[in-house]
Structure 1
Amino acid sequence: MRAALRQQLADDWRALRARAALGELAVDLGHDIGSRQWWYGAVGCTGLIAMALALGSRVEPIRTIAPPALTPAQHDLARINAIGPLARGGVTGAVPRANPRMLAPLAEAPERPRLELSAEVGGAGFAAALRRSGVSASDMGAVNSLLRGVADTGRLARGTDIDLVLGRRESRSVPRPLDRLAFRAAFDLRVELTRVDGALTLKRVPIAVDSTPLRVTGSVGGNLQRALRSAGIPARLVGDFTRIMGYVVDFQRGVGKADRFDIIVEQDRAETGEVRHGSLLFASLARRGKAPIEVGRLMQGGHAEYFKSDGEGARRGLMKTPVDGARLTSGFGMRFHPLLSYSRMHQGVDFGAPHGAPIMAAASGNVSFAGRHGGHGNYIQLRHTKELVTAYAHLSRFAVKNGQRVVQGQVIGYVGSTGMSTGPHLHYEVWLRGRPANPVSLKFIGGSQLTGRALNQFMAQMNRWRAVPATGSAPAATRIASGFAPDSANAADKRRGRA
């Protein structure tokens, strides 16, 4: 019996070793349940569990002591080494605390060896800007002496940028020396002053300027002023164009939507990118089915005058349209009054225009009346000669006063709707020898006529302007850092002697 049991155990051991060699020591307790092999596996598993429980019960647990809660002071110190979100007020990094025993008071705070400043010319002028920046009186005197004859600092516009560098000084009781000063003195000139061997020296930095005139052409469309502004022409030059052409063209009946405008203006383009526009040189309207009208500028005796292409002066006795961009809404003669509801004589013409549009004097003269005048509302009357008087009614406000002398094209008031009026417009009257006259059909003798050498010079100039190439639109004028107005002329223009 025992021999059979030993033989069985020996066989089982050999089988177990064989299975171990094949990697099949694990017994699947879900297979052949109740078999002898299964019971071997169950006994082995139970023994392993019992051994694990016996050994685990003898292991001592690791006991820890919970740290005490931090005090507020300890919490603040711990935050130094912590990383917290800034959105929740987290502050990281240690803040050093000064040790009073290791500190020595300074007699005065140390200064920077040099200061680089940027000043701007204000209403008080160039000298005040330097004084506010800390430039000493002696240095200001040296600057003025060096700039004399080079740049007129008294004419620098507001907003002119000034770059300064103030050097090291011996003590706080004396001002810092001026080491460097630079600013834009003109559209074509920058000035730099630097200290060399203890003295200020001047350096001129010329700025190249292309003065090719600008020519823009386009279609008039529904509104000439709007077309010019859409082409990039500045508002000032648009006003000059309509005012000059108003002497020779009836804008109410002589200009159509299909007509084309042609304008040439002075333009300076600096190499630094700034652009400015000067005066109107040439104006033209090409009308469908009619001869084109051209007007050019000619300098005579230091004054600019405008002439038609044949040399006849553009200015006539009266401007045909005393309001820029206005349209004729009511003619001269008998009409049905919209407010009185009956027909009566309309002693002038009405021009529809936006409220506040400037009204110009049709000719030079004296203001004989400026005030309230019954149904005319705010009313201005200009006496030009003993026989000629013009009147302007329904104004919103005045720009002149009684007895004042005005010149042709000067703004005298603004469009309104005062008095008996149905909306903003200008009622314009012309009185000739004490009787009302139709301003539209009134004929006057033309201006002066060029002859001889002046006529030849003007014709040659007109040909040069006609040869100027046209561009699609005008570039926007730029306000340069010096603060000079981009549409104004400077001394360099006068030195060039442009026509």
Structure 2
Amino acid sequence: MKKLSYLLFLGLAFTACKQEENRDLSEARVVEATPILEEYGFVLNDFEVVRDTIRSGDNFGGIMASHGLSGNKVHEVIQQVKETFNPARLQVGKPYVILKARDSAYTPNYFIYENDRIDYTVVNVADNVAAYKAQKPVTIKKRTVSGVIVSNLSETMQNEGLSVLLSHKLSNIYQWSIDFWKLQKGDKFKMVYYERYINDTIYAGIEHIEGAVFVHQNKPYYAFNYSVDPETGKADFYDENARPLESFFLKAPLNFSRISSRFSGNRFHPVQKTWKAHKGTDYAAPHGTPIWSTANGTVIASGYTAGNGNYVKVKHNETYTTQYLHMSKRNVKVGQRVRQGDVIGYVGSTGLATGPHVCYRFWVRDEQVDPFRQNLPAADPIADHLKEDYFATIGSVKEALESIPFKEI
């Protein structure tokens, strides 16, 4: 009996020792398992890492000198890498990283400057001085969304927790076919689009919209992204019948705000206090809002008068001319060629104006007319030899759109 008890004691002691040994080994493994940190194409564990941002008054030489790089070495680096990296263009607020050797002097090896959230420049400041540009790993993720208009597009996007950039992109797609000043409660939309993510987790903006349908006044407007020129990769939007959404003219000369006064043969002038014709369309918008040329053309006037304030006039062809009044600032000169969507000035209240807006005037063969009553020309359609490929391409996108349920108020 005593011998059995002794053997049992030895067994328990051995088991306890073994468990303690296993626990020690497990803890040792936890300590040894240091995570490998990789960024900018480097294993950061191999360096002493310094992170900072460019401050007012900072310059490349001063930054590197403060981290132990000699003046001669700074000069050598600047001369060697000036074709790729210009130290004079460091912008306040931009992040940078310095990777230092793990030696006794913590010698700087690399200076990494973040040009934007995705692009960065690596400058080797060690023995083999060089510089190159690179990008952080970017993942493209497919998204779908549905929304219904209660008051305006921007508010709807915000209510859905979506980026304001998405509302701008959607309005840009439909700017030729939908008047966003006339959206009605109950209008609705669906989209299939792609977003960019840095390192698979950090949101970095919208890649592109693949397809959309916007139901306005109970009429569906389809839009599909398609490239008719594989060499340039330039893509435009077309409807379900391969017709272009783009038109010769934009619906409006600025991003959607509100129409404060329409073209009229008899309107009470708020400044002159008299009834007279108003041969333009007034778009109320915040001071400084960019004003676009509604079509390609040549600037034939850019000046100031007591009534018009700062104004710009653009001749588009022998038939059409447009004019933009009451700008806070003009952005083009006489004789300058402009393209549709180019910023030609900014909203203000110069001249005879009671508040910030742009008065948009429209001529057809030298006669001022209401642009909303004109049958304006469209852009070129898809070539016949591309239509079979177009319909095959948009088939799956349209199916994806149809599978998204519309939201209701």
TM-score between both structures, scaled by the size of structure 2: 0.68
Shift of 1:451: 2.9
Determine if the alignment matches structure 1 residue 258 to structure 2 residue 186. yes
Separation (CA, whole Å) in 2 of partners of 1:463 and 1:241 = 21
Task: Identify the residue that residue 217 of structure 1 maps to in structure 2.
Answer: 146
User: Quick one: which amino acid aligns to residue 327 of structure 1?
Assistant: R
Q: What residue number does 2:22 align with?
A: none
Aligned equivalents of 1:269, 1:434: Cα separation in 2: 51
Closer, same or farther: CA 299–225 of 1 in aligned 2, 3 Å: farther
Going from structure 1 to structure 2, the CA distance change for 1:360 and 1:143 (only over 3 Å counts) comes to: closer
Query: Partner residue of 2:234?
Result: 304
TM-score scaled to structure 1, two decimals? 0.57
Report the aligned-residue RMSD: 4.4
Gaps of 5+ in 1: 1-113, 170-175, 473-499
The answer to which structure has the higher strand fraction is: 2
1:245-394 equivalent positions in 2, closer than 5 A: 245-253=174-182, 255-271=183-199, 273-281=201-209, 282-298=211-227, 300=229, 301-302=231-232, 304-309=234-239, 310-339=241-270, 340-394=272-326
Alpha-carbon distance change, 237 to 411 in structure 1, aligned in 2, over 3 angstroms: farther
Partners of 1:398 and 1:206 in 2: how far apart?
A: 37
What is the identity, as a one-letter code, of the residue corresponding to 1:412?
Answer: I
Q: Is this contact kept in 2: 1:375–1:419, CA < 8 A?
A: yes
Structure 1 residues 460 and 221: CA distance shift in structure 2, 3 A? farther
Counterpart Cα distance in 2 of 1:252 and 1:207 = 40
**In structure 2, do the counterparts of structure 1 residues 153 and 252 end up closer, same or farther at CA, with 3 Å as the change threshold?**
same
Q: After TM superposition, give the deviation of residue 363 of structure 1 in Å.
A: 0.5
1:414 to 341, 346, 367: 346
Distance 1:189 1:430 in 2: 46
State whether residues 308 and 314 of structure 1, in contact with CA within 8 Å, keep that contact through their aligned partners in structure 2.
yes
- 1:115 to 1:314, Cα distance in 2 relative to 1, 3 A: closer
Question: 1:235 and 1:181 mapped to 2: Cα distance?
Answer: 37
Contact 1:119-1:129 at 8 Å conserved across structures: no
SS in structure 1 at match of 2:204:
strand
Match of 2:44 in 1: none
Residue identity (%): 23
Look up the match of 1:10: none
- Aligned residue in 1 for 2:157: 228
Name which of structure 1's ranges 393-402 and 426-435 shifts more when overlaid on structure 2: 393-402
* Cα-to-partner distance string for 1:285-306 (whole Å, 9 max, x where unaligned): 1224213332525362425332
Contact 1:126 1:154 in 2 (8 A): no
Q: Which runs of 5+ in 2 are unaligned?
A: 1-46
* Counterpart residue number, 2:67: 133
Asked whether the 8 Å contact 1:237–1:280 carries over to 2, the reply is no
Paired with 1:324 and 1:376, the residues of 2 have a C-alpha distance of: 21
Contact 1:224 1:325 in 2 (8 A): no
User: Partner amino acid for 2:139?
Assistant: D
Cα distance in 1, alignment partners of residues 319 and 282 from structure 2: 22
Judged with a 3 Å threshold, the aligned counterparts in structure 2 of structure 1 residues 191 and 431 are, in CA distance, closer, same or farther, namely closer
The amino acid across from 2:232 in the alignment is G
Deviation per residue, 1:302-356 (Å, 9 max, x gap): 2533222222222212111112123233322312323444433222222232333
Query: Match of 1:402, SS?
Result: coil
Residues 1:161 and 2:131 are matched in the alignment: no
Aligned partners of 1:231, 1:182: CA distance in 2, in Å? 41
CA deviation after TM superposition for structure 1 residue 188, in Å: 9.2
Q: How many residues align?
A: 346
How far apart in 1 are the matches of 2:74 and 2:351?
63
Give secondary structure in 2 for the equivalent of 1:313: coil
Structure with bigger gyration radius: 1
Kindly state the Cα deviation for residue 241 of structure 1 after the two structures are TM-superposed.
Answer: 2.7
Distance in 1 separating the partners of 2:309 and 2:78: 58
Contact 1:116/1:166, CA 8 A, preserved across alignment = no
Q: Deviations over 1:391-450 (max 9, x none)?
A: 111222222233322110112122222222233322111111111121111112211111
**What one-letter code is carried by the residue in structure 2 that aligns with 1:304?**
K
In structure 1, the partner of 2:356 is 424
Structure-to-structure mapping, 1:144-183, within 5 angstroms: 158=91, 159-168=94-103, 176=105, 178=107, 181=110
Structure-2 residue corresponding to 1:485:
none
